[in-house]
């Protein structure tokens, strides 16, 4: 995971940035989703950006935390007939993009397309380098 995260950060032009990654089960991500986002259900990935709000800029290299549900990732991978690692890496990429300010949910349609295009571009590199 570390090498994949570093490759993603390199591709985004922030090679010295720091990201915390936590892999949990559905029960734990449901708690986090409920307690921090008010959504009482499991999800695949949640990101907590450190460069937003009052504390932004205190530690400029620290982007934030990415929390991934291994159980949801495994189900999604099986449904898509993709390797589990592929889904984990994609969710890591998706989470890091959120840490960098990309938002497909609250942003405009153009911003959502920009995020999707960047995901596709970087994930093709991840597939080539780590999922051979």
| 94 annotated as a binding-site residue | yes
**DSSP tag of 39:** -
| 104 annotated as a binding-site residue | yes
Say if residue 11 is exposed, middle or buried (CB neighbours under 10 Å; 0-12, 13-18, 19+): middle
Are 97 and 104 in contact, with CB atoms under 8 Å apart?
no
Query: 122: how many CB neighbours lie within 10 A of its CB?
Result: 20
| 40 annotated as a binding-site residue | no
Are 92 and 66 in contact, with CB atoms under 8 Å apart?
yes
Which amino acids are annotated as binding site, given as ranges? 94, 98, 104
Which amino acids are annotated as binding site for Zn(2+), given as ranges? 94, 98, 104
């Amino acid at each position: 995971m570390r090498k994949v995260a570093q490759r993603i950060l390199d591709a985004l032009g922030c090679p010295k940035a720091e990201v915390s990654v936590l892999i949990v089960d559905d029960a734990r991500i449901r708690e986090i989703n409920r307690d921090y986002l008010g959504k009482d259900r499991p999800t695949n990935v949640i990101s907590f950006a450190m460069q937003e709000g009052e504390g932004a800029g205190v530690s400029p290299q620290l982007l934030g935390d990415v929390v991934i549900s291994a159980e949801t990732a495994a189900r999604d991978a099986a449904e898509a007939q993709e390797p589990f690692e592929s889904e984990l890496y994609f969710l890591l990429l998706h989470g890091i993009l959120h840490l960098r300010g990309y938002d497909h949910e609250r942003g405009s349609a153009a911003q959502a397309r920009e995020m999707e295009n960047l995901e596709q571009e970087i994930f093709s590199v991840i597939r080539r380098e780590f999922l051979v």
